[in-house]
Chain A
């Protein structure tokens, strides 16, 4: 079990911040996975600057590391602002080119350092514990944005720590985040193939492969919808997963419909979640909720 949620605002002003909506939705799914919680928010950004969220360490023990990362990264672009919060360093960088060299540069500074997310609007915040823990540590319910996805985890096969938590960023591809409920059974086979091509894996979590897969498909020039459709053929196992980009949110469900996923649309928003309770917690009013069918793929744009 795991719980996943997604929310996309359709451009109208809403009363509550995106972070609060996702937090309420995750709260309704907390019992599906108390191991870790996380959100990927697509914010209004910093005028096109690159927002980088870096995991310095699993806990608070990262003295001096933040400063050396900031100094190091200044070699590729001006650091507009930076701050640390628990084990995270968040920095806003004036940088326009390919994000992969920046990621490699940051991660070369210490073996524990991991870029959790990168993009012009994407920010991933995740940690071990419940959605309540996540909110008290990072105040996610106050964060503004246009759309996002979230996850509560019940770990079945891999370690419980920040790196193994979801959402996963599609490393190397800015502004793409994935949350997954299920198991990818051809994970090891696919991982070996990617590793032969030089792709770095950060965890032993099978869900990580979806981000890697989508990053590759999107880099090939596929639209998100096409990439999701292609994944129905290439990924084996049980899955309902959500993928979000700077302007879209979409889902794919496996050919056997092993994992739940429901969605609802109104004039103001699109809401997707593992259970209807979460949908009702995120969006009030009257609307129809449907369960996605086997092999169904849907994408909504802003």
Chain B
């Protein structure tokens, strides 16, 4: 275990220390006193374990490919942006744009996520234990977004082939978003995600699963058609 104290260090110094530990083959790294700094733990391209003890600022664990990162506090904007692979867990809340443009791996937020979670995601999974804010899933192309609580407005707006699951109330559906019944495969996926990541906190898993709604694209906005101008006018 490599321990790095963030107190009195700049972000660059902390990240250099983390990268150095990774390059020396460390598999368990802990950073104390993160102090809400931005860009912590970015661009880690190996399956190491990184614990960030405290809250983090913007773009934490962005561009990750393989690490397992745990944030004990909250995270700011752009959590794990453009990540390729790995697992990012946030015990607190996440700011805007969690998992924006991610391609693979999983992000688990135990608390709430603010606006635009999973915006333009191209793969991977985002699992939000609480509620999510405005325009989550906007233009998501692929992947899975699970919100156990309620969603904000314009949920799943203008999506492509991503699938969203909501355990609570949908604040308002976005353009071209439609609700459908989860398939047995979907329920199996949800069950395994929830029990794996929130297992001990969850009661009545089966009953909770029954409450989940699935939201996908209605495919009305995939190809432009003059006859559907009304739909387009609304969306634009």
Contacts and interface: CB of A to CB of B under 8 A. Distances in A.
B74 A290 contact: yes
Interface stretch (B109-117, B186-194, B223-231): B109-117
Interface stretch (A145-153, A155-163, A274-282): A274-282
Interface in A22-81: none
A281 B114 CA distance: 22
Given A280-B55, A293-B134, A257 B115 contact: yes
B92 A257 contact: no
A288 interface: yes
Q: Is the interface of B mostly helix, strand, loop or mixed?
A: loop
Contact of A277 (B57, B112, B116, B153): B57
Contacts of B111: 288
A292 B38 CA distance: 18
Nearest to B54: A280
B115 A288 contact: no
Given A262-B95, A294-B133, A276 B76 contact: yes
Given A288-B92, A289-B93, A293-B133, A260 B36 contact: no
A257 B114 contact: yes
Q: Is the interface of A mostly helix, strand, loop or mixed?
A: loop
Nearest to A260: B77
B64 interface: no
A279 B56 CA distance: 12
B133 A276 contact: no
Given A260-B77, A293-B114, A276 B134 contact: no
Contacts, number: 72
A277 B74 contact: no
Contacts of A278: 36
Q: How large is the interface on A (under 10, 10 to 19, 20 to 34, 35 or more residues)?
A: 20 to 34
Interface string B205-236: 00000000000000000000000000000000
A280 B152 contact: no
Contacts of A277: 35-38, 57
Interface string A284-302: 0000111111110000000
Interface-centre pick from A276, A279, A281, A292 (highest chain B CB count, 10 A): A276
A290 B56 CA distance: 12
B35 A260 contact: no
Interface of A: 255-257, 260, 262, 275-281, 288-295
Given A257-B133, A289-B36, 12 more contacts: A255-B134, A275-B57, A275-B76, A276-B57, A277-B36, A277-B38, A280-B35, A288-B74, A288-B92, A293-B133, A294-B135, A294-B152
